[in-house]
Every structure is written in structure tokens, then in C-alpha cells.
Structure 1
């Protein structure tokens, strides 16, 4: 259940970030409202995730990293943002970092 809430928190963060792009400096009411509601929702859901026992270092890293990587990919694929090869490599590193955080919990703690 905690990871489903984390996925929803990431989704809310992505919606908020994309809405910010369309708000034109918060001059358009609808995208601005969606951005604000999305950020508040994302943090609320993240608080529920933490309340269900996922450590903050893991939950926040997954939330932030997958949000950033997803927004960058959505921007490149759907919003005509340009990404260099090095930036694509950086996105891969972010994803690998999140995987190592999650999978690393199965090994002996230092």
C-alpha cells in the first residue's frame, strides 16, 4: 500500500510540474490551480508514505528522482524539449540510483 501511495505522490508531482509549464508564470488560473493542488497532494501523499514505514531517505529519493526523470522524459517526448546524450545518460543514472537505493535494502546495513 505504501508504494502505491508513493506512485500516486510521484504522479501528482509530475502533473504539478507539467502544469507549471503551462501556467505561463502563474498568469493562467487553471494550470496554476492544478500545479498548486498537485504539489499539495504530492506532499500529503508523501507524508502518508512516511507514516506507513518507508524511510524518508528512500521515499524522498524515489519520489524526487522518478519525478525529475519522468518530467524530463515527458518534456522531451511530448513538449519538444531537447535533451542531449549526456542528459539522457543522467536520467539513466537517476533511475539506476533509485534502483540501488531500493534494492540495496536487501543487503547488510552499514
Structure 2
């Protein structure tokens, strides 16, 4: 359960840092929030890995969620475009991450069996 909370923290801080990067185009003081967001995000991502999450799964969820949330929030906060094609792309990325997660779950029992031998 902790690894999922850490992953949510990593996603929230990464998206915050990225949105602050966009905001820094209008006010350079946002660069401080960019640095904090990315540093904290990577700290949380490292904690996810220490909790035992596979890197491919953790990074996939982190990246895909970040892309999706950033695109949606950029639309809301900065009136940037969000098209049907962009939505389709996000759905494809999310599907890919789901496949990585399913593949990881199937591989874990085989890996445990191999380690026992």
C-alpha cells in the first residue's frame, strides 16, 4: 500500500513541477517550484522502488499518469489545446502501461520460482 501512496506523491509532484515549468514562461519565480517538484518527485519514485515495485511498472505508471494529468490540467490552467487525437494518444499510452503491469504480474511468480531453485 505504501508504494502506491509514494507513486501518487511522485506523480503529483512531477505534474506540479511540469505545470510550474509552463508557468515560469510568464514569471521566472516559478522555476523554484519546478526544481522542488522534480526533486521531490524523484525522491518519491526512489521510495516506490525501495518498496519493491518493478522499475518498468513504476516508471510506466508515473510517466503515463504525468502525461495525461499534465495535458488535462494545461487545458484547464493555461487554455492549451486538448484534441481528440491527444485523448486517443493518452488512451494508447495508458493501455501500454496496463499491458506492462499485467506482464509484470505474470512474471513475478515465475521469477520467485526461479529464485527458489
Short-chain TM bin = 0.7 to 0.9
Q: Deviations over 1:7-51 (max 9, x none)?
A: 1000000000000011118x622x111110000000011011111
Secondary structure at the aligned position of 2:25 is classed as coil
Where do 5+ consecutive residues of structure 1 fail to align?
A: none
1 or 2, which has the higher helix percentage? 2
> Is 2:15–2:69's contact at 8 Å kept on the other side of the alignment?
yes
Secondary structure of 1:107's match?
helix
Alignment partners' CA distance in 1, 2:51 and 2:105: 19
Q: Is 1:35 matched with 2:44? A: no
User: TM-score scaled by structure 2?
Assistant: 0.82
Could you list the runs of 4 or more consecutive aligned residues of structure 1 that deviate by over 4 angstroms after TM superposition?
none
In structure 2, what is the Cα distance between the partners aligned to 1:17 and 1:62? 16
Q: CA deviation at 1:108?
A: 5.5
Root-mean-square deviation (CA, aligned residues, Å) is 1.9
Matched residues, number? 108
In the alignment, is residue 82 of structure 1 matched against residue 81 of structure 2?
yes
- The CA deviation string for residues 26-82 of structure 1, in whole angstroms up to 9 with x for no partner, is x622x1111100000000110111111001111111111110111011112332111
Contact preservation (8 Å) 1:69, 1:94: no
